[in-house]
Amino acid sequence: MADQRPLGVRIEDVARAVGVSRATATRALRGQGRIAAATRERVERAAAELGYVPNLMATELAAGGTGVIGLMLRDAANPVYGALFSALELAAARAGVELVTVTIGADPGGERQVQALRRLLGMRVAGLLVATGGVDSAQLEPFAAEVPIVRVGRPEPSAAIAAESYDEEWHGALLASRVRELGHRRVVVLGASAETSYGEHRRGEALVAALGGVAVQRLTTGPDPGDGVGAALTEAAAGATAVLCTSDVRQLAVLRALAARGTGAASTGWDGLTPGVDLLGLTTVRVPVEDAAEAAVSRLAGVLDGEAEALPAHRAWRGELLTGRTLSEVER
Amino acid sequence: MADQRPLGVRIEDVARAVGVSRATATRALRGQGRIAAATRERVERAAAELGYVPNLMATELAAGGTGVIGLMLRDAANPVYGALFSALELAAARAGVELVTVTIGADPGGERQVQALRRLLGMRVAGLLVATGGVDSAQLEPFAAEVPIVRVGRPEPSAAIAAESYDEEWHGALLASRVRELGHRRVVVLGASAETSYGEHRRGEALVAALGGVAVQRLTTGPDPGDGVGAALTEAAAGATAVLCTSDVRQLAVLRALAARGTGAASTGWDGLTPGVDLLGLTTVRVPVEDAAEAAVSRLAGVLDGEAEALPAHRAWRGELLTGRTLSEVER
DNA sequence: CTGAAAGCGCTTACAG
DNA sequence: CTGAAAGCGCTTACAG
């Protein structure tokens, strides 16, 4: 039977119930140090009976640190972050480490980002996973010497901070060659400005760089997926045969507008994580979230286990092209 | 300039740098109690210069509790949980409370669930949001007297625990009347068994109950969205005109199988949270995650602010029917 | 307005 | 194998 106020039970109460000291109760419960089997059993039973839940703040303060890894995440409603979150969680479970997550949604001022960072650092996490662009290198760097930090799923400009991201140059080349192969010679690249989303910006750059021989009209817009769709379609009406988007949600917005206007144009996306991507027939790149997540967690786990790290600071993972009907051959 | 090891800086260091006591430094930094403006400024400056990040474990231990709300979440890769997570995060930001999240993915043994629960309780969170069915009432109840607990997005059998969920009876009726209206007289309801997913099970029940006058073949299966799809289509081939699914991902699996076989059959889903739900033309129910999230957070915030609660323990929110081309009129 | 002291709940050498 | 004591870093009455 659990006590009426289980969270009020202290180790002292457990110890007293058994007639031992706090130190002994601690040893029994943590299974560390020499302890008589009989004593351990009695303590364990008492703890269970009293519904003892150790106060983690006290435990970790006394023990001098957490074994937990902190994760800073961005809006999970976005399938990209949802999938990444999930993959990180899975990787952490496999590696046997616990994850504590703090999310920051849309936050223009950046105020909440800093708050989240301080909360995690304040918890003295053993490692930090940063899966948002909202907090930049300069904010992270001062702590890099203290706690291992890995940026995941996004590029990291600073060499002082490790990163497991995606090989967007490769992905851009994948998409570009498909575009060219299908005969497109004039396209519009629809993406975000560097300030809005550095990740999307870089994708746009990669795409443009890989599109040699194709006339490119570049459109950079705000964060809303619908931004710039009108302008893109105007371009399409003026002769561009495809609208290349730097994220799947942007492509969905394009498809939506296309459907509304009853006009046709080819399009591509970037992510490949939307649940019905196959049914929607999206041509896109499936970004390797699982690889990046696994790599990031095991990198951190390695550091925590005290293994020497001989890894390059930044690694980029390669996904694959998904070919769907949204990008079809150009009619001549 | 930040120190080389900012996380090693204690309030004592800050206090010494300024030449005041720890108590004064605390007051200056927390802005509580009477303090000279000049002193406060000097302390604040020193803290910034030293890169002081308060040790939250010590802070909260000394202060006797957190102001943080804990969230237990299930796999965020599922758009349903991703959307709920995001809505909770938004609601928390609005209410000015911080959220700390612990996720449990697929966990057959339930071991990680318990661990996650203990971690959150061990952190002495001020309130607990439970957005997973993985931890049951019996596990929660012992703590309900100690910390306010709200289950969100899922039904809660125990009256001792508050819940903000969805009015699935209403949703079932919405779908059923649409099904009937379009002339379907023989359908299959494809969902999960009670053990696999209590939520989906309940949806199935609600649907069947609302389908009076329609011949229903009920298929309950495992957790994998693809489970039972084959059997459902066999039913369809045998004369059922629609496959009603208790989640959108299940419906996607049905659509996929249908496309693969080149056969046709109507279908419905349940969630309405998949990003391209409109483009996919899904007929489904858009579940009111935002309402439930908002209600759950403000209920907790209310308790934390010490407001008397005159709310019913369980509330259910109503979403709306999304009509798409996946459910069409029956040809005669 | 400020400081000395006690205490939050737990852990960990150090003796025994 | 077990206990007394010191300490983790911070806060909060209590005096002044």
B119 with A56: Cβ contact below 8 A: yes
Element (DSSP H or E) covering residue B314:
strand B314-317
Chain A: nearest CA to B111, how far in angstroms? 11
- Banded pLDDT at B3 (limits 50, 70, 90): very low
The CA dihedral of A80, A81, A83, A89, to the nearest 10 degrees, is 160
- How is chain B split into domains, by residue range? 6-54, 69-166+289-318, 168-286
pLDDT of residue B145: 84
The answer to whether residue A6 scores a pLDDT higher than 80 is: no
A122 with B59: Cβ contact below 8 A: yes
Cβ(B216)–Cβ(B247) under 8 Å?
no
**Degrees to nearest 5, angle at CA B324 with B206 and B290:** 60
Residue-wise over A87-120: b if at least 16 C-beta within 10 A, else e?
Answer: bbbbbbbebebbbbbbbbbebeeeebbeebbebb
In a mutational test of the A interface, the residue from B59, B68, B69, B86 whose CB has the highest number of chain A CBs within 10 Å is B86
Q: State the nearest residue by CA to the C1' of D12.
A: B63
Q: Which residues pair with A187 in a beta bridge?
A: A216, A242
Minimum Cα–Cα distance from B57: chain A residue = A57
Domain A168-287 has CATH 3.40.50.2300: yes
B103 with A118: Cβ contact below 8 A: no
Nearest to A242 by CA among A200, A288, A186, A296: A186
- Which of A168-177, A231-240, A297-306, B84-93 has the highest average model confidence (pLDDT)? A168-177
B7 closest CB neighbour out of A56, A98, A143:
A143
Q: How far is the CA of A68 from the C1' of D1 (A)?
A: 31
pLDDT of residue A44: 95
How far apart (Å, rounded) are the C-alpha atoms in residues B44 and B254? 61
Tally A–B CB contacts below 8 A: 178
Q: Which residues pair with B102 in a beta bridge?
A: B72
How far apart (Å, rounded) are the C-alpha atoms in residues A249 and B151? 31
To the nearest whole number, what is the mean pLDDT of chain B? 90
Q: Report chain C positions within 7 A of protein CB atoms.
A: 1-5, 7-13
Residues 6+ apart with CB under 8 A from B191: B200, B201, B203, B204, B207, B218, B219, B220, B221, B245, B246, B247, B250
Assign domain A6-54 to a CATH class: mainly alpha
Minimum Cα–Cα distance from B278: chain A residue = A256
B123 closest CB neighbour out of A56, A85, A99:
A56
Please name the residue that has the structure tokens 């942007």: A250
The answer to whether residue B6 scores a pLDDT higher than 80 is: no
The answer to whether residue A2 scores a pLDDT higher than 60 is: no
SS3 B230: helix
B56 with A93: Cβ contact below 8 A: no
CATH annotation of B69-166+289-318: 3.40.50.2300
The model's pLDDT over B70-129, given as tens digits with 9 standing for 90+, comes to 999 887 778 888 899 999 999 998 888 889 998 876 665 677 788 888 889 999 999 999
Element (DSSP H or E) covering residue A23:
helix A22-30
Q: Which two tokens stand for residue A45?
A: 């039973």
Q: State the nearest residue by CA to the C1' of D7.
A: A62
How far apart (Å, rounded) are the C-alpha atoms in residues B103 and A82? 12
pLDDT of residue B146: 86
Nucleic acid strand C within 7 Å of A65 CB: no
pLDDT (average), residues B194-215: 92
In a mutational test of the B interface, the residue from A1, A5, A49, A53 whose CB has the highest number of chain B CBs within 10 Å is A53
- Banded pLDDT at B284 (limits 50, 70, 90): very high
- The CB-side HSE value for A111 (13 A sphere, CA atoms) comes to 5
Q: Which two tokens stand for residue B132?
A: 């997973």
Nearest to B315 by CA among B180, B138, B159: B159
Q: Count CB neighbours of A176 within 10 A.
A: 24
pLDDT of residue B61: 93
A chain contacts of residue B75, beta-carbon cutoff 8 Å:
86, 89
How far apart (Å, rounded) are the C-alpha atoms in residues A6 and B146? 7
The separation between CA A211 and the C-alpha centre of its own chain, rounded to angstroms, equals 28
Please name the residue that has the structure tokens 């303090």: B35
Query: Would residue A69 be called left, alpha or beta, if left means φ above 0 and alpha means ψ between -120 and 50 degrees?
Result: beta
Residues 6+ apart with CB under 8 A from B172: B203, B205, B206, B207, B209, B210
Helices (H), A197-288: 198-210, 229-237, 248-261, 277-280
Please name the residue that has the structure tokens 């289980």: A6
Chain A: nearest CA to B230, how far in angstroms? 18
pLDDT of residue B308: 66
In chain A, % of residues over pLDDT 90? 60
Cβ(A329)–Cβ(A177) under 8 Å?
no
Residues in chain A: 332
A chain contacts of residue B29, beta-carbon cutoff 8 Å:
none
Q: How far is the CA of A57 from the C1' of C13 (A)?
A: 21
pLDDT of residue A4: 46
How far apart (Å, rounded) are the C-alpha atoms in residues A254 and A232? 8
Instruction: Sheet containing A127-131: give its strands across.
Output: A314-317, A162-166, A149-152, A127-131, A69-74, A99-104, B99-104, B69-74, B127-131, B149-152, B162-166, B314-317
pLDDT of residue B33: 79
Nucleic acid strand C within 7 Å of B22 CB: yes
pLDDT of residue A106: 63
- Three-state SS string over A278-318 comes to HHHCCCEEECCHHHHHHHHHHHHHHHHCCCCCCCCCEEEEC
The answer to whether residue B1 scores a pLDDT higher than 70 is: no
CATH annotation of B168-286: 3.40.50.2300
Supply the angle between the helices A111-122 and B56-63 in degrees, to the nearest 10: 80
Q: State the nearest residue by CA to the C1' of D2.
A: A24
A77 closest CB neighbour out of B60, B82, B118:
B82
Q: Which two tokens stand for residue B258?
A: 């249908």
A chain contacts of residue B279, beta-carbon cutoff 8 Å:
252, 255-256, 259, 280
To the nearest whole number, what is the mean pLDDT of chain A? 90
Q: Report chain D positions within 7 A of protein CB atoms.
A: 1-5, 7-13
The CA dihedral of B217, B220, B221, B225, to the nearest 10 degrees, is 80
Nearest to B198 by CA among B133, B152, B144, B248: B133
Q: State the nearest residue by CA to the C1' of C7.
A: B62
- Banded pLDDT at B307 (limits 50, 70, 90): confident
A chain contacts of residue B59, beta-carbon cutoff 8 Å:
122
Cβ(B114)–Cβ(B139) under 8 Å?
yes
A86 with B100: Cβ contact below 8 A: no
The model's pLDDT over A150-182, given as tens digits with 9 standing for 90+, comes to 999 988 989 889 999 999 999 999 999 999 999
pLDDT (average), residues A132-143: 87
Q: How far, in Å, are A11, A204, B281 from residue B13 at the CA level?
A: 31, 47, 62
Q: Count CB neighbours of B320 within 10 A.
A: 13
Q: Does B149 touch chain A (CB under 8 A)?
A: no
A76 with B89: Cβ contact below 8 A: yes
pLDDT of residue B4: 46
Chain B: nearest CA to A328, how far in angstroms? 18
B chain contacts of residue A55, beta-carbon cutoff 8 Å:
61, 122, 124
DSSP secondary structure letter of residue B305: T
Nucleic acid strand C within 7 Å of B23 CB: yes
SS3 B287: coil
Cβ(B289)–Cβ(B87) under 8 Å?
yes
B121 with A82: Cβ contact below 8 A: no
Residue-wise over A155-164: b if at least 16 C-beta within 10 A, else e?
Answer: bbebeebbbb
How far apart (Å, rounded) are the C-alpha atoms in residues A246 and A206? 10
Q: What are the DSSP calls for A156-173, one per residue?
A: ---TTSEEEEE-HHHHHH
| Same fold yes or no, B6-54 and B69-166+289-318 | no
The model's pLDDT over A21-30, given as tens digits with 9 standing for 90+, comes to 999 999 999 9
β-bridge pairing A284-286 and A320-322: antiparallel
Supply the angle between the helices B37-50 and B22-30 in degrees, to the nearest 10: 90
Residues of B numbered 257-296 whose beta carbons fall under 8 angstroms of chain A's beta carbons: which are they? 259, 274-276, 278-280
Q: A313-327, B31-45, B275-289: lowest mean pLDDT where?
A: B31-45
The model's pLDDT over B159-185, given as tens digits with 9 standing for 90+, comes to 889 999 999 999 999 999 999 999 999
How far apart (Å, rounded) are the C-alpha atoms in residues A130 and A149? 7
In chain B, % of residues over pLDDT 90? 60
The answer to whether residue A308 scores a pLDDT higher than 80 is: no
Q: Which two tokens stand for residue A293?
A: 């997540």
How far apart (Å, rounded) are the C-alpha atoms in residues A292 and A311? 14
Nucleic acid strand C within 7 Å of A51 CB: no
Residues 6+ apart with CB under 8 A from B210: B169, B172, B173, B175, B176, B177
Q: Which nucleotide is nearest to B25 (CA to C1')?
A: C2
The separation between CA A136 and the C-alpha centre of its own chain, rounded to angstroms, equals 15
Q: Which two tokens stand for residue A277?
A: 């991507």
